[in-house]
Amino acid sequence: MQALVLAGGEGTRLRPLTYTTPKPVMPLAGRPFLSFMLDWLRSHGVDEVILSCGFMSDDVRRVLGDIYDGMRLRYVVEDEPLGTAGPVRLALDEGVLEERLLVLNGDVLTDIDLTAELQQHERAEARATLALYAVEDTASYGVVLTDADGRVTEFIEKAEGEPPTNRINAGAYVIERDVAEAIPPGRAVSFEREIFPGLVGNGLHGYLAEGYWIDIGTPDRYLEATWDLLAGRVSSRLPERDETGSLVYEGCLLSGAHVGPQSVLGRHCSVGSDSRVERSVLHDRVRVGADAVVVESVLGEGVRVGERALLEPGAIAGAGATIGDGAVIGSGVRLEPGAEVPPGARVEAGEPVG
């Protein structure tokens, strides 16, 4: 079985973290994010994955390589953004597609049953099948209406007003080769706005998926997905967590520090005496000085936090940022990579940082 993962976006909603690390391989609970998706695909019999990359594609390939746990990884590179369907046409034109294909959005953490979706697709003799997932808030997603037999009757992409259903397009598709061949070549094309609406009444089906599903494309959902992984709400191959539900990787120095609950410390981090790190994510080689407090924040690789500094919930520091002794980083502040906050300064959301 073959799958194509749409992994070409710049991850703008996760900036400043994605200025220096492409979203597909940004650490999630200490592992490259796409490794969770690759594990999921492998568990459903996928043996070849095509990664459609654009932004920082060389870094994605450097991290993931050409073989992952026995699965072959191929890469197609978008010189210009091609939307959600354009990369499938690009892969077709490059001669790497087989007869049937799974297409996955590359910013989703999920354990929905792809095997059951494939089986339904075959029984219905569908041309394309969409995984549909029920959410409480549909504002950011397309919603999909189906009849009693699972045939899609209407596809509404991020429409305003009260939606007629809470079943969203979950970004996990099964498509036949003829659908790929119908995608116009050489330009950006949207499955949601061009291809799927044209298939309504002509072989487009919906699969009502259950299980765990989250789009990690925003800082809030990135943290939520981290906490869910730590709590075991979605299956993974993560190492055992400690008694606080936290995950501390090798080489960390934590003598006298208070770490947890539900925190992730990447490799070779250090947290000073009497500091607190709660429900936060520290990427590799982060240093936190003594008596500091970090709450529900994300610190990129190599960030330095001074003694007695405070990071309030929702703070994000890009790679290599420095926060001086006694500084306060307010809720929602995003520090650019390499930013320097002077000792004793207070930074609120929206304020420039030197």
How confident is the prediction along the chain (354 residues), in pLDDT tens digits per residue? 899 999 877 767 788 888 888 888 889 999 999 999 999 999 999 999 999 988 777 888 888 889 998 899 999 988 888 899 999 999 999 988 888 999 999 889 999 999 999 999 999 999 999 999 998 887 777 788 999 888 999 877 666 667 778 898 899 999 999 999 999 998 999 998 889 888 998 999 999 999 999 988 889 999 999 999 999 999 888 998 999 999 999 999 998 999 989 999 999 999 999 999 999 999 999 999 999 999 999 999 999 999 999 999 999 999 999 999 999 999 999 999 999 999 999 999 877 675
Beta strands 108-110 and 213-215, pairing class = antiparallel
The 10 Å Cβ neighbour count of residue 160 is 6
CB 297 within 8 A of CB 279: no
Three-class SS state of 256: coil
- Find the Cα–Cα–Cα–Cα dihedral 160, 165, 170, 175, rounded to 10°: -100
Three-class SS state of 124: helix
Burial of 86 (0-12, 13-18, 19+ CB in 10 A): buried
Name the pTM for this structure.
Answer: 0.89
For residue 125, report the phi and psi dihedrals to the nearest 5 degrees. Answer: 50, 45
